[in-house]
Amino acid sequence: MFNTIIFPVIYGLVIFLAGMKVMEAALGSWAGPMLSSFLKKATSSPLKGMLFSTGITAVLQSSTAVTVLTMGLVNAGLLTYERTLGIILGSNIGTCITTELIGLQIGQIAFPLLGASILVWGVSVIAEEYKLFNHAKANPFRSAQLLALAAAGFAMVMLGIRVMQSISPALEQAGLFGWFIERAAHTVWWGIAAGAVLTALMHSSAAVIGLAIALAAAGALPVSIGIGIVLGSNVGTCVTAVIAAIGSTTSGKFVAWTHVVLNVGGALLFIPFLPLLQWMAATISADSGAQIAHAQTLFNIISSLAALPLCYLPVWKKTSPR
């Protein structure tokens, strides 16, 4: 139990938090007027921020990565709290592609990215030490070093998540998957609980939803329970943001808890409309597994669009922590 579950969680958590701090420090030192100007333009309104975040999350295939990056930028003072609201909503939409491309895992790039970052950092340090390219008007080595450190920090964050995800075979062997699925077959609340707890433990909503899709496609899980697991996974994925809030600035903590409120609130509001959500998904596809994937997409898009007008309230600028 200790070697297969407890130790990997602690070990992964340490790597995760260390990566957060490395990335945060590097971004804060490297950020110049150009980066600040780009971020301000991309997040000048909640709608722009949502569209920008949707695209970035779709590329990275991880809402966790976007949430962590956002918190790092806020902690580094590059973004104010009110500008992150649209980003949070967009990350929920962009992550839906993950269920369509369930085999693609961003954690697989952690080691190559970390190795490349260390190599770039080392080369830039040596080049600066020996005054190479001394004729250049600007010193490119300092920027290269900071960018390499930021990339290394991001790789450590992904590596930490991947280490924590490694407990899933042990959890499955311990019978936790089967225990939840067996009870979830009787009531949707167990499905929500299964999605939330398993996603919190595995730090991967894609893995949990992928399991639900596979079981539904095999006829072992009702679609309605699978949709409940989808809602629960959106709640469980907030755990990573809460972990990232440890040691964050006040604004960073607000970003994490806003993510929690939006995801939990959306899940609670959707529970009475699960039959309608299932009907909408069924009109798109007759395949049971595909219906669960479509339900996740519909849920996140509708929830984000419903919450978008609230992001324009002037109260956020007045109450934003600094």
Domain boundaries, the chain: 2-319
pLDDT at residue 99, rounded to an integer: 62
Residue 273 pLDDT > 80: yes
pLDDT digit string, tens, across residues 67-77: 777 787 787 77
State the pLDDT confidence band at 322, using cuts at 50, 70 and 90: low
Task: Quote the percentage of the chain above a pLDDT of 90.
Answer: 1
pLDDT digit string, tens, across residues 298-308: 888 898 888 88
DSSP 200-241: HHHT-HHHHHHHHHHHHHTTSS-HHHHHHHHHHHHHHTHHHH
pLDDT at residue 156, rounded to an integer: 79
Quick check: 216 and 227 in contact, CB under 8 A?
Answer: no
Q: Could you tell me the pTM of the whole model?
A: 0.65
Report the distance separating Cα 249 and Cα 76, nearest Å.
9
pLDDT at residue 61, rounded to an integer: 55
Q: Mean pLDDT, to the nearest integer, of 99-124?
A: 66
Between residues 233 and 38, the one the model is more confident about: 233
> Which single residue is written with the structure tokens 């979830």?
184
Between residues 258 and 170, the one the model is more confident about: 258
Residue 280 pLDDT > 80: yes
Least confident interval from 12-21, 41-50, 279-288: 12-21
